[in-house]
Amino acid sequence: MFIDGSWVEAASGKRFPVTNPATGEHLGDMPDGDAGDADLAIAAAHRAFPGWSATTAYERSAVLYRAWQLMTERSVELAELMTREQGKPLKASTFEVKYGADFLLWFAEEAKRVEGHWLPSARPDQRFLSIRQPVGVVAAVTPWNYPISMLTRKMGPALAAGCTMVLKPAEATPLCAKAIFEIFVDAGIPDGVINMVTALDPVPIGDTFTSDSRVKKLTFTGSTAVGRKLAGAAASNLQRVSVELGGHAPFIVYPDADPVHAAKGAAALKFLNSGQACISPNRLYVPNELLDAFTETLIARVQKVKAGNGFAEGVGVGPLVNEAAVAKVENQVIDARAKGAEVPVGGGRLTDGEFADGHFFAPTVVTGVTTDMVISHEETFGPVAPVIAYDDPAEVIELANNTNYGLAAYVYTRDISTAFRAFEALRFGIIGINDVNPTSAAAPFGGMGDSGLGREGGHEGIDEYLETKLGGFAL
C-alpha cells in the first residue's frame, strides 16, 4: 500500500493473492488492508491537503504533465501488466493505457483554467467575487474492468483541483493501481497527496471512507448496488458524491440505416473488454425489415471473434473476471433459451484445453429476445449480443428508455432529423450516433438514474472536485 509517501504493508501483516484470469497463474501478493490502514491513509491525505492545495495550478499541472509523459514512456509495460492481471487483449490494453494517460494530459491543462467570476451587485459600494477551491480529501473506489483509466479519470481532476486522495482499487487489479502510483511518485508528487489502500474485503475500507468527516468527497466507479450503498452512507455524512455505475445500453437500428454497417458496429462494440464495459450495448433493437441482413452480418462477425489469452495473436475476447461473472452470463443465456430465444453462435462456457484454468465464455449471439427474458432488463457484463426485433420506429425510443439505467445509448440512422430526435429523446448520458466510441478525455462521461451521479472527463470533470466560494466586498 502507499501511505504518506511510503510503500507499506498492512498493519496486520496480511496479504492477498493476485491471479491471471486467463490462466489462474499467481501474479503476486498485495497487502490486505483494513479500517485501521484506511484511517492512516486518510490522516496522511488530511495532513497533506493544506500544502498541496496551496501550490499553484502551474505546479500541479507540471506534476500531471510529468505523470502523463511517464505513462506514455511506460505504455508497453503497463499494457502487458494489464493483460496479465485483467485479461483483455493486448491491443485493448494498449488502447486503455493511452485513454488513461489522456486524462492526465487533459487535466494538466484544465488545472490552469479553474477560473472565478466578478458578479454585479445592486449596491454601488459592493463587489462580489466568486472563486472555486478544492473540496479537500477525496476517497476513491475503482473497478477492475478498466484498471488504469478509471484511476486516472479520478486522479487527474482531483489533483488538478488541489485535492489530496485516498484510493482503494479493485481487489482483482491492484497491480495496475500500484504501477500508476509508481508513476506519480516518479513524477514528484509530494508525500501524502495520494495514498492507496489495498484490501481483499472492501467493506471496512468503504465504511471508513464514508464515515470519516475528514473525507469531503467520495468518488466511486462500479456496480449500481455497491454505488447506491456507498453514496447513501457518504450522503448521511454530507460528503460530496460522484458515482459512475452500471448500464444497460440500447443500440437502435432505424429502418433507413445500413444493416450491414450497423451490425459491424455492434459486433465491434459488444465484445470490447469481453462485454465487461458499462457502456456495452445490451439490447440491439432491429426493425423487422432489416432483421435478416443485420443478424446475418452479426453472426458472421461474431463467428470470427476469437476467445483466448489476451497475449495470443488474433484474440478478440479475453476471459471474464471470475467464476461469478461467467455464471451470471450463463444464467442469462439459459433463461433466454428457456423462454424461446435462439442462440446461433456461442452460448456456453469455454472449458477445454487453453481455457481450462480461466474464466471464459464463448462470444454469443442471442436472437428472438423478448421483454420477459432477464437479459432484456439486466446488465450482462459479458460477451453476449441480444437481438430484439421491433415493428414501429415511433415506439423504439420508449422501449429503449424503459430502464432505470441511463449511461450509454447508440443509434444508427442516415436521416439527420431522426438522429437529432433520438439524441434529444433518449434518457442516457452518452449517445453514439453512428458512432461506437463516443468517449474521450475531453468529453463528459457519466449517466442518469441508476447509472450514477456526476460526470468525469471534459470541462465538467474538474467541477466535481471544486467548491464555489463567494466573497462580498463592501467598499
CB of 150 to ligand NAD, least distance (A): 6
- Indicate whether 21 belongs to the interface with ligand NAD (CB under 6 A): no
d(CA 196, CA 174): 10
Q: What is the dihedral of CA 273, 274, 276, 278, to 10 degrees?
A: 70
d(CA 50, CA 352): 57
DSSP classification of residue 456 = B
Q: Exactly one of 278, 379, 456, 464 is catalytic; which is it?
A: 278
395 classed as catalytic: no
- Indicate whether 432 belongs to the interface with ligand NAD (CB under 6 A): no
Half-sphere exposure of 142 (CA within 13 A, CB side): 27
- For residue 184, which amino acid is it? F
Q: Which residues in the 275-294 window bind ligand NAD by CB under 6 A?
A: 278
Binding-site member from 69, 75, 223, 434 for ligand NAD (CB under 6 A): 223
- Indicate whether 226 belongs to the interface with ligand NAD (CB under 6 A): yes
Query: What one-character-per-residue DSSP string does 186-213 give?
Result: HTTPPTTSEEE---S--HHHHHHHHH-T
- Indicate whether 246 belongs to the interface with ligand NAD (CB under 6 A): yes
CB of 241 to ligand NAD, least distance (A): 13
Toward ligand NAD, which CB reaches closer, 207 or 296?
A: 207
Q: Judge whether 369 and 387 are in contact, CB under 8 Å.
A: yes
Neighbours of 419 (CB within 10 A): 17
# residues near ligand NAD by CB under 6 A: 29
C-alpha cell at 444: 463528459
3-state SS assignment for residue 431:
strand
Neighbours of 14 (CB within 10 A): 14
Toward ligand NAD, which CB reaches closer, 287 or 454?
A: 454
Binding-site member from 244, 258, 450, 463 for ligand NAD (CB under 6 A): 244
Toward ligand NAD, which CB reaches closer, 179 or 245?
A: 245
Q: Which residues in the 162-181 window bind ligand NAD by CB under 6 A?
A: 168, 170-171
- Indicate whether 439 belongs to the interface with ligand NAD (CB under 6 A): no
Beta strands 215-221 and 240-244, pairing class: parallel
Helix (H) or strand (E) holding 328: helix 323-338
d(CA 328, CA 113): 45
Q: Which residues in the 105-124 window bind ligand NAD by CB under 6 A?
A: none
Beta strands 306-307 and 249-253, pairing class: unpaired
DSSP classification of residue 162 = T
- Indicate whether 407 belongs to the interface with ligand NAD (CB under 6 A): yes
**Where do runs of H (alpha helix) occur along 237-290?**
259-270
244 classed as catalytic: yes
**Where do runs of H (alpha helix) occur along 55-118?**
57-73, 75-86, 90-110
Binding-site member from 33, 136, 157, 202 for ligand NAD (CB under 6 A): 202
User: Which region, judged by CB under 6 A, interacts with ligand NAD, from 188-196, 224-232, 254-262, 358-366?
Assistant: 224-232
d(CA 35, CA 49): 21
- Indicate whether 245 belongs to the interface with ligand NAD (CB under 6 A): yes
Toward ligand NAD, which CB reaches closer, 162 or 202?
A: 202
Q: Exactly one of 96, 244, 379, 464 is catalytic; which is it?
A: 244
- Indicate whether 230 belongs to the interface with ligand NAD (CB under 6 A): yes
- Indicate whether 221 belongs to the interface with ligand NAD (CB under 6 A): yes
d(CA 239, CA 259): 47
- Indicate whether 34 belongs to the interface with ligand NAD (CB under 6 A): no
Toward ligand NAD, which CB reaches closer, 324 or 470?
A: 324
- Indicate whether 141 belongs to the interface with ligand NAD (CB under 6 A): yes
Q: Judge whether 1 and 31 are in contact, CB under 8 Å.
A: yes
- Indicate whether 215 belongs to the interface with ligand NAD (CB under 6 A): no
User: Which region, judged by CB under 6 A, interacts with ligand NAD, from 4-12, 82-90, 240-248, 369-377?
Assistant: 240-248
Beta strands 342-345 and 315-317, pairing class: unpaired
d(CA 79, CA 98): 9
CB of 221 to ligand NAD, least distance (A): 5
- Indicate whether 92 belongs to the interface with ligand NAD (CB under 6 A): no
CB of 457 to ligand NAD, least distance (A): 10
Q: Which residues are catalytic?
A: 244, 278
Task: Give me the residues that bind ligand NAD (CB under 6 A), please.
Answer: 141-146, 150, 168, 170-171, 202-203, 206, 221-223, 226, 229-230, 244-247, 278, 379, 381, 407, 447, 452
